[in-house]
Amino acid sequence: MEALGWLIFLVALVVSVMLHETGHFATAKWFGMKVTRYFFGFGPTLWSFRRGETEYGVKALPAGGFVQIVGMTSLDEVDDADEPRSFRRAPGWQRVIVLAAGSFMHFLLAAVLIFGIALGIGVENVADSNTTQIGTVTPYVPMNETALLNGTSCTTTQSPAAAAGLRVGDQVTSFDGVAVSNWTQLQNEILKVKPGTPVMLTVLRDGRSVTLRTKLAEVQGHGSFFGIAPATVTTFQRQGLLTSIKDVGSGFSEVVTGSAQAIGQLPAAVPSLFKGDRACTAAGNVGSVVGAAQATGDAVAAQAGWQQKVSYVLLLIASLNIFWGVFNLLPLLPMDGGHIAVVIWERIRAWIARRRGRPDPGLFDYRKLIPVSFAIFAVVIVFALLLVVADIANPVSFG
């Protein structure tokens, strides 16, 4: 099942990449630009065919895809016959649309997935069973409140619940001498006990009463910690048309905000990528396609209902597409956003020249940006490879 999850992710990755390229391809064709190649992968060609003026095919290195449009920059050599149909001779607004179309396809795919989940599967609602039955026993004491909220421990200190021998399915009938019949009562009794204080509890296990003893631990910034969570009841409620549309908007907002935070955490995350407590640091919030594939595999193999699995995987794919779309629009070369910035700057220069009664300065000289572009590309590649190695050597458990 885990292998199936990896396969699902790889297929989704290929589809996402080629949808991005299809956005560039379709809009360039629509505006009459000459498109000579549409390929998946890089390197030597494994298979291809030609239809009209465009060659379609697959290359040996499955690390992305590309569309080749004649005359993308001022540096490209173009035959005189093809120059009128080159990218660089198209109006600025058309070039911006072609460049932004790749990210638009990521956003479109994400919107369709989120909308489909809300309308077809529904929004997951997890509620406590309102009993004292235990649904989770946390094995270790979290290092701090942040680790507690993130569902990680980062320590090897056994939790009081684990030390007592509590099991999933046990039903607590009394805690520290006080009878409890619902989770709120149990939680209140736990909070009354100071860390380090010995406690005795009685549980109903397999129809018989069992008495257990332990000592409560302390989580920095939180207080007393026992290490249990209630049994839950999960339901899925399908949304209406308007609510599903709103879910798309809220989903985009959450992912964009989270993506910005993740990018901002990258410099601080690097030193902790290979530490044992990675999950409790900023490095636990960033990852590569390998980490995303692992998360998909874990989800498919998890002991959960099909609705939880499908919604998790589709939301993960949607989130990644939103991230890729936003990242690609950053005004940095060689991303599409960098090329859009160049086109906008060309139009600003042309407008200023007209205001001054001067001729259009024409195309921007890309040679001036080659060092900057190369440096940014190198940094992106180094970060990407570092994250891949970290996800292989020191993976984060996604639960």
Of 2, 21, 145, 254, catalytic: 21
| End-to-end CA, the chain | 16
The full DSSP string for 367-382 is GGGHHHHHHHHHHHHH
Rg for the chain, CA atoms, rounded: 27
21 tagged catalytic: yes
Domain coordinates in residue numbering, the chain: 130-230
Tell me which architecture the domain covering 130-230 has in CATH.
Roll (2.30)
pLDDT of residue 351: 93
Q: What tens digit of pLDDT does each residue of 243-280 get?
A: 999 999 999 999 888 878 777 777 778 888 888 777 77
The mean pLDDT of 208-237, rounded to a whole number, is 84
Tell me the average pLDDT of the chain.
87
The mean pLDDT of 379-395, rounded to a whole number, is 87
Quick one: three-class SS letters along 278-346? HHHCHHHHCCCHHHHHHHHHHHHHCCCCHHHHHHHHHHHHHHHHHHHHHHHCCCCCCCHHHHHHHHHHH
Task: Report the phi/psi class of residue 280: left, alpha or beta, with left for phi > 0 and alpha for psi in -120 to 50.
Answer: alpha
pTM above 0.75, yes or no: yes
The full DSSP string for 12-47 is HHHHHHHHHHHHHHHHHHHTT--EEEEEEEEEEEEE
Q: Is 70 exceeded by the pLDDT of residue 153?
A: no
pLDDT level of residue 398 (50, 70, 90 thresholds): low
